[in-house]
């Protein structure tokens, strides 16, 4: 794959981009809380893309349930760390996962304080 700038991406950067794209589609299509997110993660990240195994997903999800905060967001961040190998990639994935929610909140905030 050749980009317009003439720079050829490495296989690793291409894999990370595809992973972020998958996470973005999960964000847009998964509504219903952590149970719905886990079911969609199982279908997309385990069965279709094979980023991690089913046992790893369930283990990460169980670990994240113990921690305070949103379980599905923490699970996605842990999967990203395992897939990307760096803290910065897991932060980028976390922002990607929260982007659609942040957009809705910002639009509502601007609409509320517009007057």
pLDDT tens column, 39-73 = 899 999 999 999 999 999 999 999 988 988 888 88
Q: Is residue 26 part of a domain?
A: yes
Q: How far is CA 32 from CA 37, 55, 59, 100, in A?
A: 7, 23, 21, 15
Q: Is residue 29 part of a domain?
A: yes
Number of domains in the chain: 1
Which residue from 83, 102, 94, 106 is spatially nearest to 13, judged by alpha carbons?
83
User: 114 is written with which tokens?
Assistant: 């517009």
Q: Is residue 74 part of a domain?
A: yes
Q: Is residue 6 part of a domain?
A: no
Q: Is residue 4 part of a domain?
A: no
pLDDT at position 1, please?
47
Q: Is residue 46 part of a domain?
A: yes
Q: Please state whether the predicted TM-score (pTM) of the whole model is above 0.85.
A: no
Residue numbers of the domain that contains 71: 11-112
pLDDT above 90: residue 104? no
pLDDT at position 57, please?
94
> 46 with 28: CB under 8 angstroms?
no
Q: Is residue 2 part of a domain?
A: no
């Amino acid at each position: 794959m050749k980009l317009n700038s003439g720079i050829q991406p490495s296989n690793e950067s291409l894999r990370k981009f595809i992973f972020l794209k998958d996470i973005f589609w999960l964000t847009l299509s998964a509504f219903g809380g952590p149970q719905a997110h886990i079911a969609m993660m199982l279908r997309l990240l385990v069965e279709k893309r094979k980023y991690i195994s089913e046992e790893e997903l369930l283990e990460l999800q169980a670990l994240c349930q113990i921690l305070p905060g949103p379980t599905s967001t923490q699970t996605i961040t842990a999967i990203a760390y395992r897939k990307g190998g760096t803290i910065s990639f897991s932060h980028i994935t976390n922002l990607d996962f929260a982007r659609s929610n942040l957009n809705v909140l910002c639009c509502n905030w601007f609409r509320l304080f517009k007057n």
